[in-house]
Amino acid sequence: MIALFAPVAWLADGWASEVRIDIDAQGHIAAVTAGAAADGAERVDGPLIPGLPNLHSHAFQRAMAGLTERGGPAGDHFWAWRDCLYRFLAQLDPDDVEVIATRLYIEMLQAGYTSVAEFHYLHHDPAGQAYADSAEMCRRIAAAADAAGIGLTLLPVWYAGSAFGGQAPLPGQRRFVCDADQYARIVEHVVGASGLTAGFAPHSLRACTPDELARLLDLRARLAPQAVLHIHAAEQTQEVEDCLDWSGLRPVEWLLRHTPLDERWCVIHATHMRDLEAAALASRGAVVGLCPSTEADLGDGLFNAEPYQLAGGRLGIGSDSHVGVDPFAELRLFEYGQRLQQRRRNLFERRAQHSVGAALYRAAAAGGAQALGQPVGAIAPGRRADLVVLDVRDPALAEQRGDGLFDAAIFGPVRRPVRDVMVGGRWCVRDGVHALGEASLQRYRRLLRRLLDA
């Protein structure tokens, strides 16, 4: 048993002073006591808040950030970006993926993410052949998370086709594509791995037919019926149009009619929903996974937040392609996108004189915890001790108190809002530094040099 003492901490019911947090040997919070004495507990150096879950990551894409910014006479779009992705990943081997993922997860921790859902679809070698160990790439992701110290929900992805109706995969997709038996072997390894939270992920309706989706749901019912399930949907307008041509329904509309969509599901992006779709999705208790920096980078569009929020919809944030690895920036970009769309301010919090920043953070913490299927997202007994100490030395946080800390960290000119980070009762970042940070960065630099030279 270890104990922390925070001068101020953000608990489930708001800010409290002189807070003692007792943490058991498994890294979970055993007790939280406000107005307590330190009594030998370790004193933290700043306001204490729960770490945020990152509910959507493609780790290998971290090494692509900044490599696709080249103009053209007609502009660019998601599908051209995807072609660049295929060319890039043809160079990566398992060692490379582990190096990239380790570096990324360290960066996530330093930014205040304490857990991550890895939407993992890079299964095979560059020729599209299975490795001798079909779960080789999953093992590398798990090893990277373990080395960095981040909490992992691993989501093996079933990717079978290139477009709606089961069209044959493209050559660039050969590293993703699994048949039913291959997918089952990968998932069985992940579900059976100790210390790992497992989930299921049909990539999208364009990459997984209704029959394949049904088989995945049957596999989940047999192996891990309470596991979370994530799927991309309605990210691009072209995807919506193609889904209408195929089925007569929009992607989220199809999921609502044809799947047992409930609180164990996370619908990634859901950018292009009509009001009735948004309200219906909210009523199912599912989480929408928003990735504002990636959605902006790819020109996806803006999420239809107002009807979803009014219906009580749950949401979380992810860094997706990792053009940004900063939870505070993701929340700012989400709110700013809505302001630009609606031409009004302070949209996420509708109660007068209540903090927009605190409301955003609370929603992302709760929605992220639900989407990851992990006991995180709050400082409360029974939750894992995933904690962030804010760095009040940053001028943007200077003299801020209470919910003003969230408003300043999200909307202010903050440079370094995070000082220390704990995951499962173990300090991973102290004063902004991760113990493996420098060694990881050197390995990452060598890898990038090789990739860029190629």
Cβ atoms < 10 Å from Cβ of 446: 11
Q: Which amino acid is at 63?
A: A
Alpha helices in 168-287 (DSSP H): 180-192, 210-223, 237-247, 251-258, 275-283
Cβ atoms < 10 Å from Cβ of 412: 20
> What CA–CA distances, in Å, run from 11 to 51, 153, 183, 366?
12, 24, 41, 13
Task: Tell how far CA 364 is from the center of its chain.
Answer: 10
Q: Which amino acid is at 97?
A: V
DSSP letter assigned to residue 261: -
**Catalytic (active site) residue 269:** yes
| Burial class (CB within 10 angstroms; exposed 0-12, middle 13-18, buried 19+) of 141 | buried
Find out whether 158 and 202 touch, Cβ atoms under 8 Å.
Answer: yes
**Of residues 124, 189, 269, 434, which has the active-site annotation?**
269
CA pair distance 385, 65, nearest whole angstrom: 31
CA pair distance 151, 54, nearest whole angstrom: 10
Q: Give which of 384, 382, 442, 392 is closest to 420, Cα–Cα.
A: 392
Find out whether 397 and 317 touch, Cβ atoms under 8 Å.
Answer: no
Find out whether 318 and 289 touch, Cβ atoms under 8 Å.
Answer: yes
Residue 209's contacts (CB-CB under 8 Å, 6 or more residues apart) are 160, 161, 165, 166
Enclosing H/E stretch for 288: strand 287-290
Structure tokens at 56: 């959507």
CA pair distance 345, 349, nearest whole angstrom: 10
**Of residues 96, 300, 320, 407, which has the active-site annotation?**
320
Active site residues: 269, 320
